[in-house]
Amino acid sequence: MASAPVEIPHRPAGVYPATNLMNVDGFFVVNMGRQHVQLTLRNVSGSDLDGVTIYLEGFSDPGVSFVPRRLDIGLLRADAELPLRFTANFTNAAPDASFVSFIVEADGYEMRRIVKKIFVTRVDYHKPSKTYTVKTPQGDMEIVVHRALMGPEQGSCREGEAFTVLIQDVSYTLRPKPSYEGTRGPLMYEDPWWKIALAILAGLVLLGAALYDYFSDGTLDGGSVSVGGTFEETGPSVCCTKISSSASKGEDDLVAKGLYSAAGGIATVAIASDDPDLHWRGQEATEPPAGELTVGEGVRLKIDYVESPSPGVPFAIEGEWAYTRETDVGSTYVHEDRDRRENVHVLDRYEVEAPSTHDRASGPLVVTAQFVKPGGDLCRGGELLVTGHLVSEHGPYRQFQLDDAGLDPDADPNDGVYTGAYWFSRDAGEKGDPGGAWYLFVIAQDVNTVKEGTDPFEAAHTVGGVVVTTQLQLGIDKPCELNHDAVITVV
């Protein structure tokens, strides 16, 4: 009997449960502790499969713990790409590339074991030197943020806590292990590590209050760092607004927190990461003579926000940067440049459909959304990770998933219509879902769709996990906007 004809086409990604958003490029972050392992299961049989089940069998890193659980999917339509998730605790994980295995079964087939690579990192902070360290198995990347735009303006948000931080002037150094000859060393994690380290750091800073341990001082002992005291704050300020100004009295403002976090990452992705990235070009321009070993590399990057770097918007951004290479004979090679880039993680438009009034006695609230790429094609199937966020005017916050897999309530797989549902509880008590106005946000993130086995240097040109919808409009020296996609009156 043949094995179940399914595949998991892309690298499983880390999703932070509090915000329900994917981490930049799907990396798992030790500092975040418990995270969802997000994957897409694809039916490649050419026909419908019945009795489909899947469970997570194990991790190669024994430091990752999880509670066994099987997902009973049932019918998986032909060619469907179904987003699924399991939850695991990465608190004791080692920062490294590691593996996770899944067991998939379907009626009439033998079980199939699918082993996928995942990436795990950790960010430490050394208070005296104000240096962040992004841990990798091939060497630590030390990052110093010299200057940042901070938000909110005085008094706009909760006291003492920055809602957004846009890095303006940053430097990082990398000591490759081992030293290498030629233009480039081994690619960390076989992935564009330097490309996403800044984005992960930028995103994490914004999630600070929600992290189990914030940054760890290298010991993961519970030490914390004040964002406001970390950077030099000069010049203009990012003026944020709480979700409550547009939607409700969000008790923890996690929608806003997630989007502001995403915005911090998107800016650095746009200027420093998207193909061809500056580290790559710096290496290209500073090839050392034969026999010299590169013992250190560094980049200083000064970002000019010529437009507000709002997620999903093709904003322009400029950067002045210098790449420096040090070799074992004491030589230093420098390449400087100035770039103007545009955010490429965008949609042409997107549309969300939801009823203006929902009677909870009639069944679940069903929401559909379509996302149009630049050029007019619809996003389909596993191209996007789409999450629904409902915020009550009375405070409670709920999450749900949308997919294009043809699994009820979605009508057909890969038709470009993403559908999700949320069952409002009938109990409107303290822990139930209150009636009244609920503000809906449908947030889409692109997915790193690089095929396994792709040449690492080719793979390095793709970054995923970036928000492509436009709910958050950042303002620099003017108010931000956080716009919901629909308001639903729940009765």
Give DSSP secondary structure letters for 348-386: SEEEEE--SEE-GGG--EEEEEEEE-TTSPBP-GGGEEE
Q: Among residues 66, 137, 409, 461, which is the contact residue for another protein, using CB under 8 A?
A: 66
**Least CB distance from residue 67 to another protein, whole Å?**
7
**Separation CA 250–CA 263 (nearest Å):** 20
Q: Which two tokens stand for residue 216?
A: 């760890």
**Separation CA 138–CA 186 (nearest Å):** 9
For CA atoms 194, 199, 202, 203, give the dihedral sign: negative
Q: Are 260 and 162 in contact (CB under 8 A)?
A: no
Binding mask 104-143 for another protein (x = CB under 8 A): -------x-x-x----------------------------
Residue closer to another protein, measured from CB, 21 or 88: 88
Which residue is it, tokens 């690089």?
450
**Separation CA 441–CA 485 (nearest Å):** 5
Residue closer to another protein, measured from CB, 61 or 292: 61
Q: Which of residues 282-341 bind another protein (CB under 8 A)?
A: none
**Least CB distance from residue 232 to another protein, whole Å?**
44
Q: Among residues 7, 33, 51, 65, which is the contact residue for another protein, using CB under 8 A?
A: 65
Question: How many CB atoms within 10 Å of residue 129?
Answer: 10
**Least CB distance from residue 86 to another protein, whole Å?**
10
**Least CB distance from residue 59 to another protein, whole Å?**
6
Nearest alpha carbon to residue 17 among 239, 281, 212, 153: 212
Neighbour-count burial of 240, counting CB atoms closer than 10 A to its CB (0-12 exposed, 13-18 middle, 19+ buried):
buried
Q: Among residues 1, 67, 290, 361, which is the contact residue for another protein, using CB under 8 A?
A: 67
Q: Among residues 3, 45, 60, 156, which is the contact residue for another protein, using CB under 8 A?
A: 60
- Judged by CB under 8 A, the stretch of 7-15, 98-106, 188-196, 265-273 that binds another protein is 98-106
Q: Among residues 51, 58, 176, 314, which is the contact residue for another protein, using CB under 8 A?
A: 58
**Least CB distance from residue 74 to another protein, whole Å?**
14
Q: Among residues 3, 45, 53, 489, which is the contact residue for another protein, using CB under 8 A?
A: 53
Contact status: 2 vs another protein (CB under 8 A) = no
Contact status: 62 vs another protein (CB under 8 A) = yes
User: Rounded to 10 degrees, what is the CA torsion of 160, 166, 171, 175?
Assistant: 90
Q: Which residues pair with residue 339 across a beta bridge?
A: 319
Contact status: 91 vs another protein (CB under 8 A) = no
Binding mask 370-409 for another protein (x = CB under 8 A): ----------------------------------------
Q: Which two tokens stand for residue 4?
A: 């179940």
What residue ranges bind another protein (CB under 8 A)?
A: 53, 55-62, 65-70, 99-101, 103, 111, 113, 115
